[in-house]
Structure 1
């Protein structure tokens, strides 16, 4: 069942979205050479506790996962791109880090992801990160009343094709609202003019992700982390978006959506790690 949200309910999701944006901004700033993924995990746990939010990931147990997920953020490195299970790994110069984060506040969820490059960036890594960002903006622009779901998928596919990246359709965007995953699967590949007509109040998590040279995936032994099948590097960008009577409303927009690279000057404080 697809639940259309009232403007008041969308605003409550927007409150959650602002916090999600804050967390991903901070994670991107803290991701640096020498920082362990578990330091980031524990830092985010502290932010959730202080805000009084509820993790959408903790105890999450879908059919494709291996037991309940017992972390509050997904962290994937290099050829890993989705559902990255935080573990004892220290970030290195040139690593491509994807952070995916979802919480509920007062019963309303928001979900977002970003990919950053730690330290020195290779041009081909910058290119794929920017391609996912470009695809996401195209998808958001297509999320207008009167358009169809396929218009969003086609917009993502067009950007991927333009950059020469293959597209996997097993995992994509989804409905979101009272829970992290609601009805509607939004593939990252599709045909314009197909699918349900978009209506005001529809809330979607749109998430283009591409691997450099394959659309096939493999799972790590941890049962969660998804990697490109050929080991090529990957990137993932996501926002929670509301269809309105006018322009799409991005509920998880960060105040300053920085480029894929960063200077790497901020560090984790010992009290938060």
Structure 2
């Protein structure tokens, strides 16, 4: 889950969420999943403080949201209008794919070297910001709030209440004045939920495929593979010398278009 949460895009958002949700107790999978899947509970609240309890149904937008939609993205009025190409966004997308192509130009093995930079660079930036923030006035009080005695652990229970309330108050997303269809909402839920539960799904599949009772299956799935080690043999030291390598079965038959097989 750290890979989903850590990044340069979250440098400014993460401290704010942590401060508003009880310090370090905010850093749990349930709260993170709730923030990804659903809107926060106070997005659509009843106006109990009004004189007559009236509600304004005209949707409003903040200046920052107006700038994001009208200037940065230049969104069209609806899904039925494609709009014009935003050239600076298209060039940024082209640059991103050029970087991906350059990283994979020499094959999939070259991507491993690129990961050394892409995976470590956000942590380097976060470390620099951490050192800078720790030298500011009042940093010790902030650290005490995040991981000290002032952390509010009751926020863990509030996260579940917010999740249930968000399910009750869930509203269909809109694109301008057009509401998303049922299949679009279902597809969006599946895509977002899969990012969170794909590890448990794979774990359940492996447990079902294992042999023995449920306890033996869980233990066998928690153990590493017998041939675990570096991919390239030249990087395998003494500890991997006696490791049993699985026998590779070579299929000398070539499939044909008709579906039958013939020997080489």
Q: Which has the higher helix share?
A: 2
TM-score range, shorter chain: under 0.3
Q: Which has the higher strand share?
A: 1
